[in-house]
Structure formats: C-alpha cells, structure tokens
A and B are shown apart, each in its own frame.
Chain A
C-alpha cells in the first residue's frame, strides 16, 4: 500500500483529490434523489392515506352523554332531575400501578374503602380503556387540590358529569325508580335492540319505576308526569351502586322498604270487595235491592254446623243491599256468595280486573289472584268447596289484590263500568322542540252494567262516609261527597270461638287496613285505594289517609301530619 507521491506532483494530487470530490458529489446527489423520491412517494402517491390519518388524529368522535329527561308530576314539581358535578376518573390502561395511584390519590382526596370496592367492581365489568370513576361529587376543594397535583397522575382525570337526583328521596321512590350503571345483561339487550349506539356516551340506564318503563323517552330528551308505597328507600343511593351496608339495611328491614307495595304487594281485599259482590248479586239477578235478610251474627251453609261469623257478634238485624254495604255486613255476603257461585263471581270480578295485571306503564306488576275451581285443582289438587266461596264473598278467601288493582276496580266502578288503563305518564315533552305528546286515553273496555244497579251501590258507598257508615269519621265535614268502602285483610286466622283482640297481637300480625274511595261521588275525578299494613281497621287508619289525599286533590289542601288514633277497641269496625 505504499504509495510514493512525487514532491512536486501537486497537479496529480489535486486531480486525484478532485476525483474523490466528484465521487462525493455523486454520492450527495444520489442520496438527495432518494430523499426526493421518498417525498414524492409520501406526499403525492400516499398523500390521501396520510391525509386520512392526520384527520383521524385531529378529529376524534367523543360521545356526549345526553342529558336525561326530567320527571315532573302533573303540577310541574320536579321528581327527578340532573345536576352537574365533578368526578375523579381513572383510565386503567394509562396507569402503571393502579393500587399505588389510588393510594397516592387518597392522600389528596377522600377515598373511602367503599369507593375502592365500588371501583373494583366497575373494573370487573368494564374494559381497560374506559375511564371509570373512583370518586363522585368532588368538592371544589378537592378539585382544586387534585388539579394542582395533576401532573403526578397520568391517566387520572377530573370530569364534569351529569348526575341524577331525586329530591323526594324515599317518598316516591317506588314510583320514580332509579337509574344505575348499565350492567352486562342490559348492555347485551341494548346491543340486541340495536340501541347500543345511543348509549356510547352514557353509563346509566333506568333500573326501576318510571326511570325504567320510560327509558326510551327519558334517555336523552324528555320529561314525564300518584302512587305511593311506604316505607320507601332513597333512590339516590342506587345511582352509583349502593354500598353493602345500606343494601343490607334496606333488604333485611322487616318493613321491606324495597318492595313496591302498590304494584307488587298482594293482600286479601277484605270487605272492599263487597260493593263488587253487591253489583254481581244485582247483575246476576240473585238479589233485588229490596231483598232483606235477618242477620243473627253468623252464617251457616245448609247442612253444616260451621258458623261463618259476622264481624259484629250480635248481628246487624234486618239488612238489605244498601245497608249491607254501609255497615259492611258479612252475613249478607256469605249468603250472596253461596247463591252466586264461584263461577259468576269469577266472571264479573275478572271484568273488574281482579286477578289480572292492570297493564300500568311500570315494570314488575303482579297479577294478584282471583280464585276459581280450576285454579284450586291445579294449585292444591283439591276440589272447590262451598266454604271456599263463602270466604271469597267477604274477600278473605284465596283472593289477593294489589292496591293498584283495587284502585283500578274502584275507578272502573266510579266510571260506571268503563275501564281505562292506568298510566303514570301524562305527557312527554321533547325539550328541543317543546312539542308535547299527550298519552291517548281511550277506554279499554265497557262492562255494560245496569245504571240503576250502579247508582244503588254508589249511593251505599256514599253512605259509608256519612253518619252511620263505617267511615263516617273520615267523611266528617267533607265539603264534597265521596264514596268509599273500608276493608280489613286478615293476616292470621282466628280459631272458631276466639276473639280478635288487636292489643294482644303483635304489630306484625295485626290486620291490614284498606280503604277504597272515589270522589266527588256524582262526577268522579279521582279513585284510590289505600292500604295500611298491620294498620288494623280500615276505618281508623286507611280512611283518614284517603281523606287527606282527596282533600289535597280536590281542594288543594296540603295535608297536616297524620295522627292515627290507636283505638284498640274500635268503635267503628267493618
């Protein structure tokens, strides 16, 4: 490799150097051409592809949670509304060490064990890239504290979210219901109904009550328009998922607050069925209005020594149809039921909606029970005895009704046999257009009852609330006339010859008190059924409540706190 260069041969040396320089220039030009080719490839041939990618970077579709519709009552009082609050949310796949992150957050923000538990449960149900709340409803202080430290928590964000709130807490929880996080089953259902796209932006769905039955209307647009079950629960507890302790308290309470009694409670109707029995007697020509019995205080089936006792031991004396309702004579109806037979009773009562769902716009309604020989055969593998019919006649047999069913039947009676389907919704208002959609009210059926029969039964029911009737006290001084009927549903059976003494019986085993009513009696505007569990007599506990409801509805009188007299001896009884 030794190369001798003549000392003076600079010309050759320069030539040699320039050759290398020229090669370098060629190298430079070649590489620049490669670069240029690359630019042409990217910017001309692939331009639209990269344009799309850049647009995808720039534009991302963020689903916006729709503002859930408000629920108002008919007077515009808000029953469910939304408010905005901050949540602290964690996106799992952006966080390296979840536990450490939460521990660190807990130093800034109050995070309870319950919050952690709830978060863990959410984690199990959701995907890693979703942002899940660790704390809801941050205070302004907490928001400020976190914001200052935010850089320390990649993957943790504060988000403004709309929350649902139920201002009336437990008072109307069964009616309004509540919303909760969409669970797997509901997600699958939405997917199936091709509704999933509508829920991209929100995590909540109606779980019970109006929130559930009008999910379609409430989700993202509208507003809805009594019905009470007590004790209730605070629906606000359920929105974020209820904690274990509160759930146990609610679920194990002997008062069963989670049960929507109006819709799902099944009780013996007791004497409240007497007006319907009376109608049946007239309808099937088994009783004339003038037909009178002499009540010895009990009834016995022909050829039997078993005594079906009247609630009034000494009997009511001479009783016709009118009086049988006013004083609630059991003996009259023992005989009437026997003569009518279970088939006739079943037939007319079914038309009044007993034993069937009313079809109200709310999930979870139960159908009650209207017994028939076929039903008994199927259920108990026993034939129907004449005694069964006797018990059904005063509403203490196999028959079970829900308060809603009784209210429905009362309304049908008040409407002279024209039945309307009950509904909670009055109208739907589209907030964007303010367009109102009122629910159509068309009669469901007409029972075609004789108007004279109806007038007689109704007048007897009016007399119930007047001096001499079983609910005279509740009807006292009413500026309107109203029709009613008390009832008592037995909780435990009383042996033959024993006396029912309320004070000696545990509250839990006391009778349930009923009162059904409609008013004003000539032009009915409202029909209702009130049930007080273990309330004893309908006259002393249920009827006063009904009176207050009527006063409020017809007169706009706000109810005073109710004082129920605990008159164990019960001057009035049914």
Chain B
C-alpha cells in the first residue's frame, strides 16, 4: 500500500470521528458560540477561535461517502433517507447561526454525493417540487438580511446606497473592465475603494476589472482544467467511497467558483463564498487544499 492509498483509507477511517467532532462543535457553537456581526459562528476554544462550519465542508461529504460505502451492497430508499439526515443535521445547525452561504454550499456538496450515489430521479424531482412548494414557508424563516440579499439580486438598484451597493459596485467594476481590462493595478473601482471586500469575497471584481473578458476566459479555462482533472480522477477512482468523495470535492470546487463569480457578476445573490484559490483567507484555503489532497490520494490509490 503506497502513501496515497494510505491517505485515502485514512480519510475513510477519519470520516466518522471528524463528522461527529464537527457536529459536537456545531452544537457547542449554538450554545456557547461568540456573536460577531449578529451571527453565532465562532467557538472560543481557549487558545484560539474556530469556525466549525468550515470543518463540516469536508466532514459532511466524507461522512456521506463513508455511509454509502458501508451500505454499498444494497442501497435502499432508507439509506438515501439516512444519508440525507446526515447532511441536513449540520446544514440546519449552520443555517441557524446564521450562515446561509456555507449552509447552501455544504448542502450542495452533500447533494452531489447523493446524486452520484445514484439517488433516483423520482426522488430528486419530488424533492424539487416539495422545495418549490415550500418556498413561501422557507421565506418566512429567513433572516431579514438574507431576504434583502435575495431581493437585491432581483433589483440591486432599489437600494443602491445600502444593500445593493456591493452588487452594483461589483458589476460596475466587471463591466467597466471591458474586453482587455484596465490593466494590472489600474482598476479604479478597486483601488479607489468603491469595492467592498476586495481581497476576499469580491476579489473577482478586482481581477475582472483589471484583466477584462480575456482575463476571465483565462480564469474560467483554468478552473475548467482543474474540474476536468477532478472528473478524470473521479471516473478512475477505485472504490465507491473514493468515487463519491472525488466527485463531491470536484463539484464543490466548481460550485464555489461559480457561486462566487455569479454573485460578483450579479446573477446570484451575495452569499459569503470565497473564490477558490484566489480569495484571501486561511481557513477556506486549508479546507480547499485538504480536499485537493484527498483528491490526489484518490488518484494515487486508483486501480
């Protein structure tokens, strides 16, 4: 057994403890978490503060893939149901913090596992119909700022100096970049401080303003390259667990990139999602590279 195989099996072995640890921490956050900006996301563990939801980004698909591997022989509706519960429990806890962006992305990564594990189309369709129908109910449980973000997506101009400001300034940055961009370090929107969060969630607006459509094409191509590579690894993964895991990691990576660029260019609501491999931010980078590590170990452990 080489090193990669070892890592792959290590992640298999770690799935349950990591998931349970994350769950415990999330519950702890719900009770003892520190409140910043109106959200209870952080847990003070004495030496430092941690954000358990970040851990769940990897722990949830890990746990679900482990669960499907465990019951690979005969997958019944009950198995999918239990897997969904494994997903929804942390997602609900995170959405309650509230941290809608992370909750949605973890839900997506779990859904990819379910989808690749072969959940039937009928279940997916039923779920879609039910969720459509329950939209009004969901709306009523959302926080005001979450509703605002969704409303702003529909019409950012209605509150140009308030909630819509981020979106409008980001779109202006992207649009004014044109085909070739304003040049490296020459973006007026970003360097004159019209753009908020320009090193983190909105860094794509800076990039897009300075490098234009051509720069965007390059970036999209690079992302596509990584994603295609992920798909190839997924397709050749040796076990059920590694297949599900690799697929989920690849699709989640794509989701992050898409949601971030979509939000900056104004086709998705503003949710706090970093642009993978580009946004500044330690935790999300660690989790991302952890995912790539698992992906690479899956590749080395292939048949």
> 1/0 per position for B41-75, CB-CB distance to A under 8 A?
00000000000000000000000000000000111
Is the beta-carbon distance between A28 and B175 smaller than 8 angstroms? no
> 1/0 per position for A23-44, CB-CB distance to B under 8 A?
0110010011011101110111
Residues of A within 8 A of B258 (CB): 31-32, 35
Query: Closest residue of chain B to A57, judged by CB?
Result: B194
Residues of A within 8 A of B118 (CB): 16-17, 20
> 1/0 per position for A3-25, CB-CB distance to B under 8 A?
11101000001001110110011
Residues of B within 8 A of A51 (CB): 175-176, 178
Is the beta-carbon distance between B76 and A38 smaller than 8 angstroms? no
The interface on chain A, measured as residues whose beta carbon lies within 8 A of the other chain's beta carbons, has a size of: 36
B243 at the interface (CB under 8 A from A): yes
How far does the alpha carbon of A220 sit from the alpha carbon of B189 in the complex, in Å? 35
Query: In whole Å, how far is A73's beta carbon from the nearest beta carbon of chain B?
Result: 48
Main secondary structure of the interface of B (DSSP, over half): helix
B120 at the interface (CB under 8 A from A): yes
Is the beta-carbon distance between A57 and B192 smaller than 8 angstroms? yes
Is the beta-carbon distance between B115 and A24 smaller than 8 angstroms? yes
Known: A17-B116, A51-B175, A53-B176. A35 touches B265 (CB 8 A): yes
B174 at the interface (CB under 8 A from A): yes
Residues of A within 8 A of B185 (CB): none
The interface on chain B, measured as residues whose beta carbon lies within 8 A of the other chain's beta carbons, has a size of: 50
Query: Closest residue of chain B to A42, judged by CB?
Result: B175
Is the beta-carbon distance between B235 and A18 smaller than 8 angstroms? yes
Is the beta-carbon distance between A43 and B189 smaller than 8 angstroms? no
Is the beta-carbon distance between B175 and A49 smaller than 8 angstroms? yes
> 1/0 per position for B176-188, CB-CB distance to A under 8 A?
1111000000001
Known: A42-B171, A54-B172. A5 touches B73 (CB 8 A): yes
A64 at the interface (CB under 8 A from B): no
Residues of B within 8 A of A54 (CB): 172-173, 175-176, 188-189
Residues of A within 8 A of B223 (CB): 32
Residues of A within 8 A of B175 (CB): 42-43, 46-47, 49-51, 53-54
A47 CB contact (under 8 Å) in B115, B120, B179? B179
Query: Closest residue of chain A to B189, judged by CB?
Result: A54
A1 CB contact (under 8 Å) in B115, B120, B176, B189? B120
B247 at the interface (CB under 8 A from A): yes
Is the beta-carbon distance between B172 and A44 smaller than 8 angstroms? no
> Which residues of B from 173 to 214 have beta carbons under 8 Å from A?
173-179, 188-189, 192, 194, 208, 212-213
Residues of B within 8 A of A49 (CB): 175
Residues of A within 8 A of B27 (CB): none
A58 at the interface (CB under 8 A from B): yes
A2 at the interface (CB under 8 A from B): yes
B220 at the interface (CB under 8 A from A): yes
Is the beta-carbon distance between A21 and B231 smaller than 8 angstroms? yes
> 1/0 per position for B144-177, CB-CB distance to A under 8 A?
0000000000000000000000000101111111
How far does the alpha carbon of A365 sit from the alpha carbon of B122 in the complex, in Å? 96
How far does the alpha carbon of A57 sit from the alpha carbon of B194 in the complex, in Å? 8
Query: Closest residue of chain A to B234, judged by CB?
Result: A21
How far does the alpha carbon of A404 sit from the alpha carbon of B296 in the complex, in Å? 101
Is the beta-carbon distance between B213 and A40 smaller than 8 angstroms? yes
With A20-B116, A43-B213 already in contact, 11 other A-B pairs whose C-beta atoms are closer than 8 Å: A1-B120, A1-B123, A3-B75, A3-B76, A4-B74, A13-B240, A17-B243, A20-B118, A21-B231, A47-B179, A50-B172
Identify the 6 closest CB pairs spanning chains A and B, nearest first.
A50-B175, A54-B176, A42-B175, A50-B176, A1-B77, A43-B213
